[in-house]
Copies of this chain bind each other. A is one copy, B any other.
């Protein structure tokens, strides 16, 4: 018993919503990338590499960007020409390379950071709403990565240092064993550079505990 026309399910409308926000983000990315003489893809590669001490393989870069390996090679070559990154030999495998930022490349990413429109739009939400949104995104990302659609992300919920709901404190229920401190749901990381992944079984267990500890959602 659908009411207005377009009897679409909520999933579809949410996907539409994501797509509008993605458009806005792409526009911003062009703006920001141009400021440092790059394009969004190139800036994305640099951002991906930032804070990865061991760099990444070509294949890994392709997976994170969601493009084919030759496409990643293309972008890497373009950035190499601009001396924003360099390839180093992989220890113990002479086929492979590890891609690292150069200091020029690092400077470019860092100059880029901050103050974009998507963040402003998030800022227009209430605090509680932001927290809900972050949690929903984490759930969706987890779903996507467990189904193999995207590579494993460096999120708390897949990290060996993460202890969900380890504290009775409602404001800071989680614990990070890497920094050995309690933290709240609002602090959950999507891309933590100290992330250290666990094997799938303990990942599942962590996720169980994380889900089980969540307070029930109320009607909006």
Interface residues in chain A, defined as those with a beta carbon under 8 Å from any beta carbon in chain B: 2-6, 10-28, 64-66, 114, 116-126, 128-141, 143-144, 147, 149-150, 153, 156, 170, 172, 176, 178-179, 181-183, 185-194, 214-215, 217-220
For the complex, would chain A's binding face be called helix, strand, loop or mixed by DSSP majority? helix
Q: Which of B118, B139, B149 contacts A124, CB < 8 Å? A: B139
Docked-complex contact A27 and B66, CB < 8 angstroms? yes
Q: Which of B20, B120, B215, B219 contacts A219, CB < 8 Å? A: B215
Question: Closest residue to A159 on the B side, CB-wise?
Answer: B4
Docked-complex contact B194 and A11, CB < 8 angstroms? no
Docked-complex contact A130 and B10, CB < 8 angstroms? yes
A138 CB, nearest partner CB in chain B, Å: 7
Q: Which of B13, B14, B132, B141 contacts A220, CB < 8 Å? A: B132
Which of chain B's residues have a CB closer than 8 A to the CB of A27?
66, 149-150
A182 to B1 alpha-carbon distance, docked (Å):
11
Docked-complex contact A193 and B138, CB < 8 angstroms? no
Given contacts A11-B119, A15-B25, A124-B140, 17 further A-B contacts (CB under 8 A): A3-B176, A3-B181, A4-B187, A4-B194, A14-B137, A17-B134, A20-B137, A24-B150, A26-B66, A118-B140, A121-B139, A121-B141, A124-B139, A126-B217, A129-B135, A132-B133, A217-B220
